[in-house]
């Protein structure tokens, strides 16, 4: 038994309810001033007022006592949406976008996601692992302790399985909890350009069953967008995945409103992603169905698009989570502090709402809410020590990371 007592910390954490936090609850965070946390074998056995925690710890043999000197402590970030497993960056394409070429046109011309597909197909599994590892360690040092990672740059059975194998190894080879998502429906590969429905057939008949057989992904995602997968094709893919035992999520209404948010509500997916162009009636349907909005403000920033209507979503009681979307194309950042800052400064979220969105709601959206996302008894001792008095430092100290120490299961990992 490894028993560690952390004391003299100002602990800010959301508290778990029976569903993701929405509406007023989106902004509810408790504060334990000069509080303490007891970690036993990586799990929290007491947290709160120092006297209460000491009562619990009294008489127990401690392996370590850590004086946090009055620092601000929050749960480790959960990044619930990334494409962080890729083989090459696309910096030149970024310059093309800056010069005015739209993101979807680059894809249509065979670049964008498709150039990442070429790179992943060319890469050995070892190379892909090394590159991904570097990106993921950067995320860890910025406070991400749980991460969702999608495949979707392989787009043939062999290459998708290669990506998912790498993603699995990242989970086993790093301190992070990794949630793997199969996203064979990320784009239509060149060889199916003239017949996208045949690619949907391949997804449904070969790729989804192959991934399910290996049990190496818990979620399935699809890019529902003009020129990518239509609403009907997305439905077919997601329904097949559901039958095969996957949990679902969907890239919905990122550039154009195809009704992806409505499909998310209909299928009761865990989350719907992006939603920059989603219509109000579909957002209402999401609220009723309890679908989490995974909002990716760094993508709006990088695509120079208006931000998602988060205030409206909170008003409609759609639970909101925030994620990086880290990928080599539409948005290259591993930084949850950056995303937190954009949430507060550019989408008018309160600091508390952004904290819930980057921790507990993000955990719900990847099905990890029982283990991570808040500092409560029974959960993993995954937490961050910040160089500031409150989580507001994440928005206030712009362009730098105030994450000083990262603890995963009670162990200092970054």
The answer to the question of residue 135 lying near ligand NIG (CB under 6 A) is no
C-alpha distances out from residue 177 to 169, 172, 191, 273, 382, Å: 11, 8, 35, 21, 10
CA gap 26, 297 in Å, rounded: 17
The least distance separating Fe ion from the CB of residue 129, rounded to whole angstroms, comes to: 21
Binding-site partner at residue 408 among ligand NIG, Fe ion, none, CB < 5 to 8 Å by type: none
Binding-site partner at residue 341 among Fe ion, ligand NIG, none, CB < 5 to 8 Å by type: none
Residue nearest to ligand NIG (CB): 329
The least distance separating Fe ion from the CB of residue 223, rounded to whole angstroms, comes to: 8
CA gap 379, 42 in Å, rounded: 9
For ligand NIG, the binding residue among 111, 112, 143, 184 (CB under 6 A) is 112
Between 328 and 410, whose beta carbon lies closer to ligand NIG?
Answer: 328
CA gap 168, 162 in Å, rounded: 10
Nearest Cα neighbor of 21 from 334, 393, 251, 359 is: 359
For ligand NIG, the binding residue among 79, 177, 325, 352 (CB under 6 A) is 325
Please state the length of the chain: 414
| CA atoms 91, 94, 96, 99: torsion sign | negative
Neighbours of 214 (CB within 10 A): 12
Binding-site partner at residue 330 among Fe ion, ligand NIG, none, CB < 5 to 8 Å by type: ligand NIG
Q: Where are the beta strands (DSSP E) in 263-395?
A: 271-274, 292-295, 320-322, 383-386
Binding-site partner at residue 116 among ligand NIG, Fe ion, none, CB < 5 to 8 Å by type: ligand NIG
Cβ distance 402 to 337 under 8 Å? yes
The answer to the question of residue 251 lying near ligand NIG (CB under 6 A) is yes
Stretch that binds ligand NIG, among 71-79, 109-117, 129-137, 344-352 (CB under 6 A): 109-117
Binding-site partner at residue 379 among Fe ion, ligand NIG, none, CB < 5 to 8 Å by type: none
Binding-site partner at residue 314 among ligand NIG, Fe ion, none, CB < 5 to 8 Å by type: none
For ligand NIG, the binding residue among 50, 116, 132, 282 (CB under 6 A) is 116
Binding-site partner at residue 254 among ligand NIG, Fe ion, none, CB < 5 to 8 Å by type: ligand NIG
The least distance separating ligand NIG from the CB of residue 86, rounded to whole angstroms, comes to: 7
The least distance separating ligand NIG from the CB of residue 186, rounded to whole angstroms, comes to: 6
The least distance separating ligand NIG from the CB of residue 334, rounded to whole angstroms, comes to: 14
Neighbours of 412 (CB within 10 A): 13
User: Which run of H or E residues covers position 276?
Assistant: none
Binding site for Fe ion (CB under 5 A): 325
The least distance separating Fe ion from the CB of residue 325, rounded to whole angstroms, comes to: 5
CA gap 260, 271 in Å, rounded: 11
Stretch that binds ligand NIG, among 94-102, 167-175, 233-241, 321-329 (CB under 6 A): 321-329
CA gap 202, 121 in Å, rounded: 18
- Please spell the DSSP secondary structure of 296-334, one letter per residue: -HHHHHHHT-PPP-HHHHHHTT--EEE-----SSS----
- Residues binding ligand NIG: number (CB under 6 A): 14
Binding-site partner at residue 223 among ligand NIG, Fe ion, none, CB < 5 to 8 Å by type: ligand NIG
Q: Which residues in the 211-230 window bind ligand NIG by CB under 6 A?
A: 223
CA gap 78, 144 in Å, rounded: 6
C-alpha distances out from residue 67 to 55, 306, 376, 400, 410, Å: 17, 43, 20, 25, 14
Binding-site partner at residue 359 among ligand NIG, Fe ion, none, CB < 5 to 8 Å by type: none
The least distance separating Fe ion from the CB of residue 209, rounded to whole angstroms, comes to: 24
The answer to the question of residue 113 lying near ligand NIG (CB under 6 A) is yes
59 exposure class (CB count in 10 Å sphere: 0-12, 13-18, 19+): exposed
The least distance separating ligand NIG from the CB of residue 400, rounded to whole angstroms, comes to: 25
Nearest Cα neighbor of 211 from 165, 173, 170 is: 165
The least distance separating ligand NIG from the CB of residue 247, rounded to whole angstroms, comes to: 18
Between 326 and 384, whose beta carbon lies closer to ligand NIG?
Answer: 326
The least distance separating ligand NIG from the CB of residue 368, rounded to whole angstroms, comes to: 20
CA gap 104, 305 in Å, rounded: 13
Nearest Cα neighbor of 222 from 205, 206, 236 is: 236
Q: Which residues in the 327-346 window bind ligand NIG by CB under 6 A?
A: 327-331
Cβ distance 386 to 72 under 8 Å? yes
CA angle (286, 75, 345) in 5-degree steps: 60
Q: Which residues bind ligand NIG (CB under 6 A)?
A: 83, 112-113, 116, 223, 251, 254, 299, 325, 327-331
């Amino acid at each position: 038994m490894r028993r560690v007592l952390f004391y003299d910390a100002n602990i800010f954490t959301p508290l778990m309810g029976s569903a993701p936090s929405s509406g007023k609850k989106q902004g509810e965070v408790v504060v334990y001033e000069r509080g303490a946390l007891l970690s036993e074998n990586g799990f929290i056995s007491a947290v709160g007022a120092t006297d209460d925690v000491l009562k619990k710890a009294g008489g127990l043999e401690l392996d370590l006592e850590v004086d946090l000197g009055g620092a601000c402590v929050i749960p480790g970030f959960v990044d619930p949406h990334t494409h962080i497993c890729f083989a090459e960056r696309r910096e030149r394409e970024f310059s093309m976008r800056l010069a005015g070429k739209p993101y979807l046109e680059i894809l249509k011309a065979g670049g964008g996601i498709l150039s990442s597909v070429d790179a992943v197909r060319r890469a050995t599994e070892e190379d892909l692992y090394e590159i991904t590892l570097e990106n993921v360690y950067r995320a860890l040092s910025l406070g991400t302790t749980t991460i969702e990672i999608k495949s979707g740059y392989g787009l043939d059975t062999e290459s998708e399985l290669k990506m998912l194998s790498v993603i699995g190894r990242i989970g086993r080879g790093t301190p992070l909890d990794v949630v793997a998502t199969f996203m064979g429906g990320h784009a239509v590969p060149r060889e199916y350009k003239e017949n996208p429905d045949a690619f949907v057939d391949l997804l449904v008949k070969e790729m989804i069953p192959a991934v399910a057989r290996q049990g190496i992904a818990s979620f399935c995602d699809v890019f529902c967008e003009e020129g990518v997968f239509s609403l009907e094709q997305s439905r077919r893919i997601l329904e097949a995945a559901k039958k095969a035992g996957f949990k679902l999520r969907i890239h919905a209404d990122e550039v154009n409103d195809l009704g992806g948010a409505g499909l998310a509500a209909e299928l009761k997916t865990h989350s719907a992603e992006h939603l920059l162009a989603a219509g109000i009636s579909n957002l209402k349907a999401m609220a009723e169905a309890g679908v989490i909005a995974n909002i990716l403000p760094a993508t709006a920033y990088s695509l120079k698009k208006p931000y998602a209507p988060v205030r409206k979503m909170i008003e409609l009681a759609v639970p909101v989570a925030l994620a990086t979307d880290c990928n080599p194309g539409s948005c290259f950042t591993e930084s949850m502090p950056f995303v937190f800052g954009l949430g507060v400064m550019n989408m008018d979220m309160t600091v508390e709402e952004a904290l819930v969105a980057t921790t507990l709601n993000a955990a719900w959206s990847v099905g990890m809410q029982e283990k991570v996302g808040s500092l409560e008894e029974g959960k993993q001792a995954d937490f961050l020590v910040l160089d500031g008095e409150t989580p507001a430092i994440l928005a206030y100290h712009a362009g730098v990371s105030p994450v000083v120490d990262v603890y995963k299961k009670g162990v200092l990992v970054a």
